Structure 1
Amino acid sequence: MKHLLSSILVVLALVTAPTAWSASQETSQGSEQVETLSVNINTASVQILSEQLTGIGPAKAKAIVDHRQKHGKFASPDDLVTVKGIGASTLDKNRDRIKV
């Protein structure tokens, strides 16, 4: 009887392990996606800004970095419109991805 019970427990462990591992893996992938979507406009490089933000190519990304170096850090995402070439429409497209 002990042998049968042990065998059942081993089989249960083997059957449920892949499901638990899969759920754990999905959770870590989900948090990675959140991280890649959030861009700190006070620290991001030209490359990151141009790759992660909609409507921001290398030239506008460089303008953001240049503005940040000349005027200091952005106090809020709304300050992005003070950068030449970036308007309210571009800000609105990216508002959920921008952090300071």
Structure 2
Amino acid sequence: MKGVVSAVLLSLALSFTSLAMAQEVAPINVNTADAELLAELPGVGPSRAQAIIEEREANGDFESAEDLTRVSGIGPATVEAFRDQLAF
């Protein structure tokens, strides 16, 4: 019985490890992403996501994370929160 419990616990541990690795997502390209995807960034909800899209349509693609500060409501601290999740 102890062996069965150990096997079940090992199986559960491996399942959780796989789940955690599956949750790592590819960086979000702020120049092509839609509002739903942009809203997944920390500190960016639906209204800021729409503002990102409007800014890029009006003034061109973002070339760096710092360019996102062109968007009202996104400052340096917000950019730092999601910098590692961005692609250009």
TM-score normalised by L of structure 2: 0.72
Q: How does 1:1-100 map to 2 (within 5 A)?
A: 30=21, 33-34=23-24, 36-51=25-40, 53-100=41-88
* Higher RCO (C-alpha 8 Å, min separation 6): 2
Q: Which runs of 5+ in 2 are unaligned?
A: 1-17
Greater helix content = 1
Q: Which runs of 5+ in 1 are unaligned?
A: 1-25
Superposition RMSD on alpha carbons, in Å? 1.8
Identity across the alignment (%): 39
**Which secondary structure does the structure 1 equivalent of 2:83 belong to?**
helix
CA distance in 1, matches of 2:26, 2:76: 20
